[in-house]
Amino acid sequence: MKFGGWLWGAQLLCIAAAATPLYAKNVFKENSLEVKPNRSFGIDYKNNRFLKDGEGFRYASGSIHYFRVHQTLWHDRLKKLRMAGFNAVQTYVEWSSHEPEPGMYDFSGMLDLEGFLIAAQQEDLLVILRLGPFIDAERDMGGFPYWLLRMNPWMKLRTADPSYLKYVDNWFGNILLPKIKPHLYANGGPVIMIQVENEYGSYQACDFAYTSHMRDLTRQKLGDEVLLFSTDGSGTGYLKCGKIPGVYATVDFGTGANLNKTFGAQRLFEPQGPLVNSEFYPGWLDHWGDPHATVSSENVATSLDAMLAMNASVNMYMFHGGTSFGLTAGANKGSTYQACPTSYDYDAPLSEAGDPTEKYFAIRNVTKKYLPLPAGEVPPAMPKAAYGKIVMANHWTVMQLKGALQSTMQQWPLTFEDLNMPNGIVVYETTLNFTVRDPSVLSLNDIGDRGYVFVDGEYAGVASREGAIFDVPVSVRPGQTISVVVESQGRICVGSGINDFKGLTTNATLDGFYLEGWNMSPVPITNMTRLKAAFHKLKKISHSGQSMLSLSYGTRQGSMSFYRGTFKVPDDDDHPQDTFLKLDGWTKGIAWVNDFCLGRYWPVMGPQVTLYIPAGVLKKGTNKLMLLELEASPCADPSQCYVSLVDTPQINGPTPRKL
């Protein structure tokens, strides 16, 4: 990339000009909490430190994403963070969850952002907010709402493209920032810092007009004195495009880094001010089919100690990873497409279920050398229950459900985005009207992401973006129906590929000849209200005596089928408790408990074998479990048609052997 000399020089002038303390102050009372007058938080450039209420300050923060933790557990996780000696919590704000469709907003339950901010303050924690609009975080499309791709398929995300800024400006200016303003530290709340964009120096666009626009919009709505920061990799190549004039630049890196070199990159762009690692990695992310990632407690403690000894401020990403419930997990793209599992355990100090680990106590032993530990004991691990075996029964098949769903007929296949489908599965069907060889090759190039192929209901094979398998041999004659059930496995979460369309994204061919006349049926598995309505309609059709497909149609060893079961939770004060869903004999699919979508399971691929069920989604008495099994169930033998609720997780299971 090229950088104009005048622009680079202007940035350095802006850096040099920021040599006096910058802070915000005000008087405010909120949530019945007593607020000190003249609350302020800013930077003392002369002494290379933060200032809180006029006094020198540095933070030890941990990342906890409110949207990855059931709201009934926020206080438990935040208290454990505080009891580890940390004085702040950092979280992203995920646009896609809060605005799932244009103009439809959700700040309830696990998405109650303001409730999370209040909970943090009640636990004596300051808050560092990373607003996006792009967050990465191994989330679908990096936290962008999928419908941006529908509004304009050629939209240039993360740039000054007016068709993009139109929606960003509405989300930030009219919805998000007004909610945040009362919670700023100067206004009596816990929020001390606001991030502008996110690791922008890693994005190829390098659009300074865009990052300046996001800075100005944030200041306009939150005030000129609010402390803004940016986060980028600890290399000058990242900071050249990531640094925003008037926004304090910080860096991120993991264990074993050369601190003089990594913080030296920050110093090149911020000659004065506090040293900050905004993402210190105590663990790492996972992908389906790859071994569970781990980082040793000793290395984490040693690196943290070295940074705190330099009076640096540190945010640990993640302190508690939590769970990508539903279909919110994203994917990465290295040499091939790599989908992320449901668990976001991250080998963090607090496990996916919130249990303090050996790493937690190793870190606590470091922080207490530099920051006072709160009085009291560390809260123990939450109790876990093994509720035992759940007998499952085949309910409906996907092909049957298709008859109760709205379908769209077009000459060429449409993407999920065109079909108003955020995630899940779509059934694509076409009838062959010409003669081909036997067998012939069905080509589904650039499928997003996994396509199960059937000919007149008989399973023929699978196309896999993850496995780079796009050709499926089929035996098909004129008049027969080719069905492709496409499953999305998560949009790319970072880099140039985040505009990641799902479904049949190009025209399908058979022996090189285009297939036309497609009937497309989205299955609303991300919308429980619509899904239950389809089940109810299907039940009415069944009772009316109308012709229906047999249970076996479109299945292979019980695949493409919904299964249901019930289980009991004891009616006493000790229950419900957290538990884990173990799916021995099952292959790949999606699970719900009491209409709450736990997420995807794929135990034969690993490393995640069990799904975490927080106590907050359970109730005393009878509870319901539903599975959508896409590939193969153990139910050919009725005695094996069950799952288990166990008290021990397994996220480090075996994975396929690779060259």
pLDDT score, position 225 = 87
pLDDT band at 157 (very low <50, low <70, confident <90, very high): very high
Residue 560 and residue 418 in contact, taking contact as beta carbons nearer than 8 Å: no
pLDDT tens, position by position, 223-237: 988 999 999 999 999
pLDDT score, position 13 = 31
pLDDT score, position 15 = 33
pLDDT band at 546 (very low <50, low <70, confident <90, very high): low
Q: Is the dihedral of CA 168, 278, 1, 497 positive or negative?
A: negative
What average pLDDT does range 560-579 have in this prediction? 97
CA atoms within 13 A on the CB side of 594: 14
pLDDT tens, position by position, 55-90: 999 999 999 999 999 999 999 999 999 999 999 999
pLDDT tens, position by position, 512-545: 999 999 999 999 999 999 999 999 998 888 776 5
Residue 364: CB atoms within 10 A of its CB come to: 19
Which of left, alpha, beta for 233 (phi over 0: left; psi -120 to 50: alpha)?
beta
CATH topology of 5-367 equal to that of 406-523?
A: no
Q: Is 199 a catalytic residue?
A: yes
pLDDT score, position 349 = 98
Which of 279, 429, 487, 629 is an active site residue?
A: 279
Separation CA 268–CA 270 (nearest Å):
6
pLDDT score, position 544 = 66
Q: What fold does the segment set 383-397+527-659 form as a domain? A: Jelly Rolls (2.60.120)
pLDDT score, position 37 = 60
Q: How far is CA 125 from CA 55, 58, 71, 90, in A?
A: 17, 13, 17, 10
Are β-strands 313-320 and 276-281 bridged in parallel, bridged antiparallel, or unpaired? parallel
Separation CA 313–CA 315 (nearest Å):
7
Domain boundaries, the chain: 5-367, 383-397+527-659, 406-523
CATH superfamily of the domain spanning 5-367: Glycosidases (3.20.20.80)
pLDDT band at 616 (very low <50, low <70, confident <90, very high): very high
311 — phi, psi (to 5°)?
A: 65, 25
- Tokens matching residue 27: 């008087």
What average pLDDT does range 480-501 have in this prediction? 97
What average pLDDT does range 114-135 have in this prediction? 98
pLDDT tens, position by position, 430-466: 999 999 999 999 999 999 999 999 999 999 999 999 9
pLDDT tens, position by position, 320-342: 999 999 999 999 998 899 999 99
User: pTM of the prediction?
Assistant: 0.93
Q: Look-up: residue for tokens 């909120």? A: 30
pLDDT tens, position by position, 180-229: 999 999 999 999 999 999 999 999 999 999 999 999 999 999 998 899 99
pLDDT band at 343 (very low <50, low <70, confident <90, very high): very high
Separation CA 156–CA 202 (nearest Å):
16
Nearest to 259 by CA among 202, 314, 317: 314
pLDDT score, position 555 = 63
Which of 99, 123, 199, 629 is an active site residue?
A: 199
pLDDT tens, position by position, 241-287: 999 999 999 999 999 999 999 999 999 999 999 999 999 999 999 99
Is pLDDT larger for residue 166 or for residue 12?
166
pLDDT tens, position by position, 172-181: 999 999 999 9
332 — phi, psi (to 5°)?
A: -115, 165
Nearest to 200 by CA among 493, 495, 479, 492: 495
pLDDT tens, position by position, 4-42: 333 333 333 333 333 333 434 333 333 434 445 689 999
The CATH number of 406-523 is 2.60.120.260
What average pLDDT does range 100-116 have in this prediction? 98
pLDDT band at 419 (very low <50, low <70, confident <90, very high): very high
- Tokens matching residue 336: 């091939």
Q: How far is CA 636 from CA 581, 585, 602, in A?
A: 21, 11, 19
Q: Is 298 a catalytic residue?
A: no
pLDDT score, position 211 = 98
Taking 50 as the threshold, does the pLDDT of residue 550 lie above it? no
Give me the chain's average pLDDT, please. 93
